Chains A and B, each alone.
Chain A
Amino acid sequence: MGITPKYAVIEPATGKLDRRIFSEPAVYDDEMEKIFGRAWLMIGHESLVPAIDDFFHTYMGEDPVILTRDGHGRLHALLNMCRHRGNRVVRCDDGNAKRFMCTYHGWTYRNDGALDHVPGEAQAYYDALDRPSLGLIEARVETYAGIVFATWAKDAPSLEAYLGDARWYLDTVFNRRGGGMQALGPMKWLEPVNWKTLVDNCSDNYHVPTSHLSSARVQTRWLGRPPLSHEDQFASPNQHAFVNGHSITFRDADDNAPRYVHGVSKETFRLFQEYHDATMPEVERRLGTLRARRVQLGNHSIFPNGILGLRLALPRGPLKTEFWHFVLLDRDAPEEIKRAIRIGSQANNGAAGMFEQDDVDNWRQVTLASTSRFGRRHPQNLSMGLGHAGPHPDYPGLVSERYISENNQRLFYRRWEEFMNAESWAQIPLDPIKSTFEGTATMRG
């Protein structure tokens, strides 16, 4: 297209990353337009609005959005901004309502966004108000296996194309059971961190045996969870892959082991094994043998800000991020399994989580280093595993030779450049879907 790239922040040959992207206000402003204004953004889950007229308040980047299920059961993502002066029309976190009334002058909207009532319309506006054009601003909404995504971009490709072959991996958690998943949450807290570090960290397996060793040690002793070290990680059958903007780690082993999640302990292991065995025929039917028996999604992120399942990194200025933590459960799982995962998840993740609380001071300094007058002259070093990733005969995307690698980080920042340097969606490259999706599972569950 003859456009000179404006951003060249990652050097592919060396993995040097320009730190200024973590703090410069102009870069952040551009991100809100070119990334959060364009990408398919994870905003919630269908189970948060199960009934007619349910709503759930969420965000697309910085913008407050109401996820609604209208009287016909259709989902909408509506900008929470009265078209008159701009007040929010919803102040609650969730609920059930047919209409939303602005508390300033009383303009009232239906839950499909249409402007339904304007006080004194005939007298005040002399019947000249173009009411049909003044509905709440609506984003495009699509779902994948119950997870709700929305985009402001009219020219964005379908969500299916956007996820591309990443879905081949994502299905192994989100599309496992016919009954789908249910979301609990969110827990919300602010971190003094640039949003990209939270996303980048989800594919950073290298930090785990250092950042989280204290929690891993006590959990080995108290809960019988396996020990954690760099050696253990190098020996594990885990893989690191990058697909179409999305960072994936996955376990690659045909040993009939249940997915290892927070909540698995020596007491609950048998329960998880039994659940794994009992559901395997269904999972195999839905996902085919290779994915059902061999592939288990691990840590991952969905570009730009969906991380580790349904967790959101919501930008709040260059130096701040609001973190939302949900837990996703197989809807038809036994209550004991749901309980174990729920408790394991909140004990380890979230603001008070044993694992997660140890991340934030590290991440904060990554952000602050970019404000250091002298530090920012020196790039981040993302050189790990350079030249040791490529196509794989069995798996989609670019797969690293080792699980511990910065391949995904380099590619995440390259994807960031692709969005930031594009004039429109037409200039954002998208890998075609090449995988064979065996089994009966589809985008719709």
Chain B
Amino acid sequence: MNTKRAHEAAARSAEPTTALTLQQALWLELMQFYIREAWLLDERKFKEWLDLFTDDVLYFMPRRKNVPRREAQRELTPLGDLAILEEDKRYLEMRVARLDTGMAWAEDPPSRTRHLIGNLEAAPLENGEVEAKTAFLVCRSHLETDYQLLSGCREDVLRKVNGAWKVRRRTIVLDANVLLDKNLSVFL
């Protein structure tokens, strides 16, 4: 094959001649959702961020324990044990509303954050909802020299409401046992 023909063949194969599979379309749709969410958080548009959650959302961050490998089922504390966060929509609304009082000292002056979301795996459920798992790195810079790096994963269940995906349940699994930082005042 000469060089010219090789280029033509490569160009042809790059054309979108086949439709995306449903799985690929879902993946793209959700990835866009998570990128948009990250920008809303990093640009401090928290009221718009709240709209990404259903009214019956559970926003849950269990504790993560050191247990032997053979007892791995005990590593995450179950719902009903003391969690780091076990919030409904109302509590999330309060957290956002208090930022506007001018007296939410942990976030006034506000943190500078960067949410990096990746490693998306998504699977549709029979009831039309989807399960989506992502990994995150969140950098938080605060005041003069405070710097925090939070890593972990989100396990979400999303539901379509009026044509838009919304998170109905979010489980945030941090990779830390003892949190190394002064507080956890940014949304994950």
The residues of A with any CB-CB pair to B shorter than 8 Å are 91-95, 184-192, 211, 213-215, 217-219, 221-223, 322, 325-327, 342-343, 345-347, 350-352, 354, 356-358, 360-362, 364
Contact = CB atoms under 8 A, between A and B. Distances in A.
B83 A357 contact: no
B182 interface: yes
A347 B82 CA distance: 11
A326 B97 contact: no
A326 to B, nearest CB: 7
A92 B177 CA distance: 11
A206 B127 CA distance: 52
Nearest to A185: B82
B98 A217 contact: yes
B182 A360 contact: yes
B68 A218 contact: no
B87 A214 contact: no
9 cross-chain pairs, A with B, having the tightest CB-CB distances, nearest first? A189-B179, A184-B82, A357-B106, A352-B184, A357-B183, A214-B101, A214-B103, A214-B98, A214-B104
B143 A361 contact: yes
Nearest to A184: B82
Nearest to A342: B82
Contact of B178 (A94, A189, A213): A189
Contacts of B179: 188-190, 351
A266 B106 CA distance: 27
Contact of B182 (A185, A192, A222, A347): A192
A217 B102 CA distance: 11
B184 A357 contact: yes
A142 B178 CA distance: 27
A95 B67 contact: yes
Contact of B68 (A92, A213, A325, A346): A92
Interface in B40-91: 61, 63, 65-68, 71, 80-87, 90-91
Given A184-B81, A360-B183, A95 B68 contact: yes
Interface residues on B, range: 35 or more
A352 B187 CA distance: 10
Contacts, number: 117
Nearest to A188: B178
B184 A91 contact: no
B95 interface: yes
Contacts of B104: 214-215, 358
Contacts of B94: 215, 218-219, 222-223, 354
A68 B178 CA distance: 22
B66 A187 contact: no
Interface string B85-122: 11100110111011101111110000000000000000
Contacts of B185: 352, 357
B180 interface: yes
B171 to A, nearest CB: 15
A343 B87 CA distance: 8
Contact of A356 (B81, B93, B97, B183): B183
A219 B84 CA distance: 19
B182 A188 contact: no
Contacts of A345: 82
Contacts of A92: 65-68
Given A91-B66, A343-B86, A189 B98 contact: no
Contacts of B8: none
A346 B83 contact: yes
Contacts of A325: 82
Contacts of A94: 65, 67
A350 B87 CA distance: 14
Contacts of A211: 105
Contacts of A356: 183
B126 interface: no
A213 B103 contact: yes
B15 interface: no
A187 B68 CA distance: 19
Contact of A354 (B68, B81, B95, B182): B95
Nearest to A192: B182
B105 A358 contact: yes
Contacts of B143: 361
A346 B86 contact: yes
B106 A360 contact: yes
Nearest to B180: A190
Nearest to A322: B178
20 contacts: A92-B67, A95-B67, A95-B71, A185-B63, A189-B178, A190-B178, A192-B182, A211-B105, A213-B101, A214-B105, A218-B97, A221-B97, A222-B90, A222-B97, A343-B86, A347-B91, A350-B84, A357-B183, A358-B105, A361-B182
